[in-house]
Amino acid sequence: MTAGSGVIHAEMPKADTDRMHGFQFWLNLPASEKMQPPAYRDIQGAEVITVDHEDSHIRLISGSLGIGDTEVYGVVTSHSTRALIADVTLPESGITTLKIEPTLSAHAYVYRGSVNAGDITIASGVLACFGDGDALQLSATQDSGLLLFGGRPINEPVAHHGPFVMNTQEEIAQAIRDYQNGTLVRG
């Protein structure tokens, strides 16, 4: 979903199994794109790009990754933020090398197991910030899963209040007025 000029929505996931986990990413848009019309797209599991590379299994949701000699693109691509979101799983003692667009600020959140990125060990529940991307070698000390994500820094001021994210406090005040006046789109 792109909130753009404003959208009112609710999220009520329904678990169809005894186990479920989910992650939500909020991406800030550049000021030039903040007021675009809201948009939504439902992505089904079968649409997500999956790749087995070296010892890893990768589900590439958004952006692109260099996997081997190939650039692989996720089902979602964005032009300005270049958002990267990938779910990477590695078996115990598994190793993989992924190439990340050098202009992206890259991060990994390990949600299961423990992963080494170079000489850094990332335990379950820990977020690692890598800075500008390029090649990232990952190895697992046990069966592991991580979210690899990043985006192009937009280097603009950020103002936020509740669910509203803009560039100035004046824009925040206008967004609150729009909400109170009922002029946001319902989705």
Q: What is the pLDDT of residues 1-49, one digit of tens each?
A: 777 777 777 776 676 666 667 777 777 888 998 888 877 778 888 999 9
**What is the tens place of the pLDDT at every residue in 65-103?**
999 899 999 998 877 778 899 999 999 999 999 999 888
> Terminal CA-to-CA distance of the chain, rounded, Å?
10
Q: Where are the beta strands (DSSP E) in the chain?
A: 7-8, 49-53, 56-62, 64-67, 70-73, 84-90, 95-99, 105-112, 114-117, 120-123, 127-132, 135-140, 144-151, 159-161, 164-166, 185-186
The whole-angstrom separation of Cα 80 and Cα 33 is 9
Which residues fall within 8 angstroms of residue 75, CB to CB, at 6 or more apart?
43, 47, 48, 49, 60, 61, 62
**What is the tens place of the pLDDT at every residue in 128-185?**
998 666 789 999 999 999 999 988 888 999 998 988 889 999 999 988 898 898 877 6
Domains annotated on the chain, with CATH: 1-40+158-187 (no CATH), 49-151 (2.60.120.10)
**What is the tens place of the pLDDT at every residue in 102-111?**
888 899 999 9
The pTM (predicted TM-score) of the whole model is: 0.86
